[in-house]
Amino acid sequence: MLHVLKRLGTCVREYKTPAILTLALIIGEAVIEALIPFITASLVNKIQGGVDMQQIMRTGAVLIVLALCSLACGALAGVFSSKAGAGFARNLRHDMFERVQGFAFENIDKFSSSSLVTRMTTDVNSVQMSFMMLIRIAVRSPLMLIFSVVMAYIMGGALATSFVVIVPVLAFGLIMIGKKAMPAFRAVFKKYDRMNESIEENVRAMRVVKGFSREEYEKEKFAAASDNIAADFTRAERIVACNTPLMQLCIYFNMVFVLYVGSRIVVKTQGTVIQVGQISAMLTYGVQILMSLMMLSMIYVMLTMSVEAAKRICEVLDEEPTLHDPENPVREVKDGSIDFENVSFKYSAAAQKDALSGIDLHIDSGMTVGILGVTGSGKTTLVQLIPRLYDATGGSVRVGGVDVRDYDVETLREAVAMVLQKNELFSGTIRDNLRWGNPNATDEELIEACRLAQADDFVRSFPGGYDTKIEQGGTNVSGGQKQRLCIARALLKKPKILILDDSTSAVDTHTDLLIRQGLRKYIPETTKLIIAQRVASVEDADLILILDNGRIVAQGTHDELMRSSGIYREIYSQQTKGGEKDV
């Protein structure tokens, strides 16, 4: 827990000043609040003993000034605590997002996207609320408790013994209520992940949901996740609701005790031992003491909830990226040559089987390489090692004659452009999306790249042309259009290595051919790796690789493989004579 506090404390940074000012103002407010009943009791006693109006006015003026000072301290503390809390949450989200951006794929695989969203939203909000409570209520309540107890003994003497009975009973009751409620609060956070996951999946796969008429099923799944959270919260809140009756019981007991015993003492001693003003102060201090305990119980509940959120946040902040730059990284990629030397790879140390094994391969700069293989054969895994999205478990991968682990990661990835199997477009215009490849690209370069990717015609057909708004996830363009825009985006990068991971699967064979011809003319010196399901997409490649079960089982040109590889001949035969088949 100490580590969590230290880790989160680093996120306060430039907001330390408003946090410290909040603490100072809260201390001032607590001192004033404790003094007011004392002065009020003194005034009541003076009135009872007979005093002139001028003295009453002076004491009243002092009370008004103290009340205004207390109000000012409370209001300013609220302003500064809000600034400190909002700034703390901002820094926390910034640090988490920055950390995630530095993650390798291996790190990201540990967290689901829905869990990361929950941690950056719900969990951060919970920790922010606790931080604001810590610098305000968590300071004010203990101080009020201490000051009120001291002043109660000063003012009431023997009457204050009632607190010896009430305070332990209330404290014990509040602790037990907190302990009973905590398990339910702790369980909620993981259930938030599952609910967000249900929402994310439903939104992303809306076309599939509607295509299979599964709306009712999705509603039921979401309702189950939502009801689960509601049930946990209801159970916890039902327990926490016992705070109020317990609090009221203690307050009323204190009032009855002070009024009954105090009145008897006043009557019997005729005000020589205790006076009416002191009884009034005792009632006020009693309420302050009990309210302070009540607030402390709320803080206990809130902090216990936030501990789980804070731990989840620290899991992200403490996650160390598995990929690091070397001490003296290479900052220039000479060319697009690629070498695999006895490479093996597994996605985790616990995996029993290698995803790739025994990969030996040399690709000259500027070559076009086709990669074929059944689903799960390791095609995507192979190309992900080139820009160092993962590190090889064994052997080495070299680009431009240099081991990829010796490069500055940003430099290496700037030299490699990938059009992934799952294409992603971002909210914004087509022009904005294309400039992800090159922020400084001119309009002429955008158009040229789109022409080569066979995207210019359909872009111009939109009313807004290149300023057409792309919805989140590219839902307002077809799969083929999305693929072509992603290829154009990659071309604008003018990379030394271009990887197309099944990125023309949604376009027709003629358009696929035009794209490949454009690539040869536009970037002849760029090494092109094309993962495909269609033999036609790689038939004219300089080198074709056949992968099976994580190994290269055959390689060569189309003509060489037709002579030497039975697997390739079977694939070719199925697709040219028996119709295209998933390979």
How many residues does the structure list for the chain? 583
Give pLDDT, residue 143: 84
Least confident of 185-189, 374-378, 483-487: 185-189
The end-to-end CA distance of the chain, in Å, is 52
pLDDT at 75 over 80: yes
Contacts of residues 185-188 at CB distance under 8 Å and 24 or more positions apart, as own/partner, are: 185/232, 185/236, 185/301, 185/304, 185/305, 185/308, 186/304, 186/305, 186/308, 187/232, 188/229, 188/232, 188/233, 188/236, 188/305
427: Cα within 13 Å, side-chain hemisphere: 1
Give pLDDT, residue 272: 63
Give pLDDT, residue 578: 52
What's the CA gap between 32 and 566, in Å, rounded? 91
pLDDT-derived band at 384, boundaries 50, 70, 90: very high
CA neighbor of 128 nearest in space, from 95, 98, 92: 92
pLDDT-derived band at 215, boundaries 50, 70, 90: confident
Of 452 and 292, more confident: 452
The mean pLDDT value for 515-528 works out to 87
Give pLDDT, residue 89: 93
Instruction: Name the average pLDDT for the chain.
Output: 84
Of 88 and 475, more confident: 88
Give pLDDT, residue 50: 66
pLDDT-derived band at 49, boundaries 50, 70, 90: low
Of 247 and 373, more confident: 373
Question: Do 125 and 251 form a contact (C-beta atoms < 8 A)?
Answer: no
The H helix count followed by the E strand count for the chain is 21, 12
Kindly state the tokens that stand for 326.
């070397």
Contacts of residues 172-179 at CB distance under 8 Å and 24 or more positions apart, as own/partner, are: 173/242, 173/246, 174/243, 174/246, 174/293, 174/294, 174/296, 174/297, 174/300, 175/297, 175/300, 177/239, 177/240, 177/242, 177/243, 177/246, 177/297, 178/297, 178/300, 178/301, 178/304
Which residues have C-beta within 8 Å of that of residue 168, sequence separation ≥ 6?
A: none
The DSSP output letter for 330 is: B
Give pLDDT, residue 252: 78
Q: What is the pLDDT of residues 385-416, one digit of tens each?
A: 999 988 999 999 999 999 999 999 999 999 99
The mean pLDDT value for 95-101 works out to 90
Which residues have C-beta within 8 Å of that of residue 9, sequence separation ≥ 6?
A: none
The mean pLDDT value for 206-215 works out to 78
Look at strands 527-531 and 497-501 and give their pairing.
parallel
pLDDT-derived band at 582, boundaries 50, 70, 90: very low
The mean pLDDT value for 508-529 works out to 87
What's the CA gap between 299 and 197, in Å, rounded? 30
Give pLDDT, residue 583: 41
Q: In the chain, what percentage of residues exceed pLDDT 90?
A: 32
Of 582 and 521, more confident: 521
Angle at 433 between CA 427 and CA 434, to 5 degrees: 170
pLDDT-derived band at 558, boundaries 50, 70, 90: very high
Which residues have C-beta within 8 Å of that of residue 143, sequence separation ≥ 6?
A: 26, 27, 30, 31
The DSSP output letter for 538 is: T
What's the CA gap between 417 and 432, in Å, rounded? 17
Of 112 and 416, more confident: 416
pLDDT-derived band at 579, boundaries 50, 70, 90: very low
The DSSP output letter for 182 is: H
pLDDT at 223 over 70: yes
Question: Do 381 and 387 form a contact (C-beta atoms < 8 A)?
Answer: no
Angle at 361 between CA 357 and CA 366, to 5 degrees: 140
| Residue 520 parent element (H or E) | helix 509-522
Which residues have C-beta within 8 Å of that of residue 328, sequence separation ≥ 6?
A: none
Of 165 and 21, more confident: 21
Angle at 352 between CA 347 and CA 357, to 5 degrees: 65
The mean pLDDT value for 309-322 works out to 88
What's the CA gap between 117 and 201, in Å, rounded? 13
Give pLDDT, residue 156: 63
Give pLDDT, residue 83: 94
Q: What is the pLDDT of residues 126-156, one digit of tens each?
A: 899 889 888 888 888 888 878 877 777 776 6
pLDDT-derived band at 580, boundaries 50, 70, 90: very low
The mean pLDDT value for 62-91 works out to 92
Question: Do 89 and 55 form a contact (C-beta atoms < 8 A)?
Answer: no
Determine phi and psi for 398, rounding to 5 degrees.
Answer: -120, 140
pLDDT-derived band at 271, boundaries 50, 70, 90: low
Q: Tell me the residue type at 20.
A: I
Give pLDDT, residue 186: 67
Dihedral sign, Cα of residue 262, residue 267, residue 268, residue 269? positive
> Which residue bears the tokens 């810590």?
134
Q: Tell me the residue type at 9.
A: G
